[in-house]
């Protein structure tokens, strides 16, 4: 099962509080994880910021919207209980609680239309995402993924239009930034030693040179097939090498990927998409255009 959106969480959350007891938010997240049968991967999936899990964030916004609608009441920090309005709503046996239903409550309508004044200028500010299926964090995450996808595709286009020499330099810069090769000068001497039995370069796995990785880099438009992997694997065996890295601007065929799983030599495959992603992660060929800080309440500050 995929991670439910915050609207799908609201009715189960309100039902969880239907016993009238005080509920701790952390416990409610765990109970809802079980109710939605989330697996470990879904439980641990993080927002792009890495600050909290996607599901916990959505439960948090479901609780916020229910509180602003007057259906839940905060009793103390991190705890909540159901309100009389919440009991009255559950008594109608609703099939779901969603954005449209909450909009019938005065508190939620006021929450949506809330304005914030900065200095002498009044700026409209809606604490509700423009897409009712998304929390504000979901909207930010979606925008981030779109921007990142665009920059990765543009990066790959730039790499494909670059010269072979520049491509080699790019691989050197990336591997050094990732911690391989010792320093850039040593790595540059190792990568680019072309044509040695299908091996394009040799780079230290660590700065002390305790082990080495053999590299083949292909600036191709067509996918790399099994025959190319077999040649590379044979070259590695000829060097008695245990580890290899094949990088391509294209992709790998399914039989090439399966072949790598059947041999003893460890060969890591990096296709064009992963190459572009690593370039973004390690700041190769990109620069920071802007930074947005996401604030949250500092609970310790208010702990009397």
Domain count, the chain: 2
Q: Say what percent of the chain tops pLDDT 70.
A: 83
Rounded to the nearest 5°, which phi and psi values hold at 218? Answer: -125, 115
User: Residue 209 falls within a domain, yes or no?
Assistant: yes
Query: What strand order describes the sheet that includes 243-248?
Result: 191-196, 199-204, 212-218, 243-248, 266-270
**Residues 6 or more apart from 253 whose CB is under 8 A from it?**
223, 224, 225, 226
Structure tokens at 5: 């959106």
Q: Identify whether residues 138 and 34 lie together within a single domain.
A: yes
Q: What is the mean pLDDT of the chain?
A: 83
Residue range 236-258, pLDDT digits in tens: 888 888 888 999 999 999 999 99
3-state SS assignment for residue 40: helix
Residue 85 lies in a domain: yes
Question: Which CATH number belongs to the domain containing residue 46 in this structure?
Answer: 1.10.10
In a domain, 149, yes or no: no
Please tell me the predicted confidence (pLDDT) of residue 134.
Answer: 77
pLDDT (tens digit per residue) in 178-214: 888 766 666 655 555 545 556 777 887 776 667 788 8
Shared domain for 98 and 62, answered yes or no, is: yes
On whether residue 295 sits in a domain, the answer given is no
Flag whether 50 is in a domain. yes
pTM for this prediction:
0.63
pLDDT of residue 118: 38
Are 130 and 206 contained in the same domain?
no
In DSSP terms, 215 is beta-bridged to 201, 245
Judge if 170 and 139 occupy the same domain: no
Helical H segments across 36-161, by residue range: 40-44, 54-68, 84-91, 99-102, 106-112, 136-161
CATH code assigned at 255: 3.40.1350.10
Supply 208's token pair: 């002390």
Q: Which two tokens stand for residue 147?
A: 């921007």
Given pLDDT bands bounded at 50, 70 and 90, which one contains residue 41?
A: very high
**191: closest CA among 271, 249, 245, 232?**
245
Range of the domain at 42: 6-116+126-143
| Residue 304, in any domain of the structure | no
Residues 174 and 274 both lie in one domain: yes
In this structure, the answer to whether residues 112 and 198 fall within a common structural domain is no
CB 53 within 8 A of CB 4: no
In a domain, 301, yes or no: no
Residue 151 lies in a domain: no
Residue 124 confidence class, pLDDT cut points 50, 70, 90: very low
């Amino acid at each position: 099962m995929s991670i439910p959106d915050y609207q799908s969480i609201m009715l189960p959350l309100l039902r969880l509080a239907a016993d009238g007891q005080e509920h701790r938010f952390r416990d409610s997240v765990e109970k809802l994880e079980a109710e939605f049968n989330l697996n470990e991967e879904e439980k641990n999936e993080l927002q792009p910021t890495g600050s909290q899990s996607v599901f916990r964030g959505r439960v948090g916004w479901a609780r916020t919207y229910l509180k602003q609608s007057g259906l839940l009441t905060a009793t103390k920090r991190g705890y909540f209980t159901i309100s009389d309005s919440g009991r009255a709503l559950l008594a109608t046996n609703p099939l779901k609680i969603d954005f449209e239903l909450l909009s019938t409550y005065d508190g939620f309508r006021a929450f949506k239309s809330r304005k914030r004044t900065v200095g002498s200028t009044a700026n409209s500010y809606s604490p509700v995402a423009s897409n009712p299926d998304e929390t504000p964090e979901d909207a930010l995450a979606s925008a981030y993924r779109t921007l990142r996808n665009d920059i990765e595709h543009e990066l790959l286009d730039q790499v494909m239009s670059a010269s072979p020499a520049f491509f080699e330099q790019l691989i050197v810069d990336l591997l050094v930034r990732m911690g391989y090769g010792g320093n850039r000068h040593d790595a540059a001497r190792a990568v680019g030693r072309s044509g040695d039995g299908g091996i394009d370069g040799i780079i230290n796995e660590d700065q002390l040179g305790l082990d080495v990785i053999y590299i083949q880099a292909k600036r191709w438009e067509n996918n790399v097939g099994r025959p190319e992997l077999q040649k590379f694997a044979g070259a590695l065996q000829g060097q008695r090498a245990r580890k290899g890295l094949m990088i391509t601007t294209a992709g790998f065929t399914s039989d090439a990927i399966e072949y790598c799983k059947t041999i003893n030599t460890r060969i890591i495959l990096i296709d064009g998409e992963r190459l572009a992603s690593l370039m973004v992660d390690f700041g190769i060929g990109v620069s920071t255009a802007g930074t947005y800080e996401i604030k949250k309440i500092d609970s310790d500050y208010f702990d009397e």
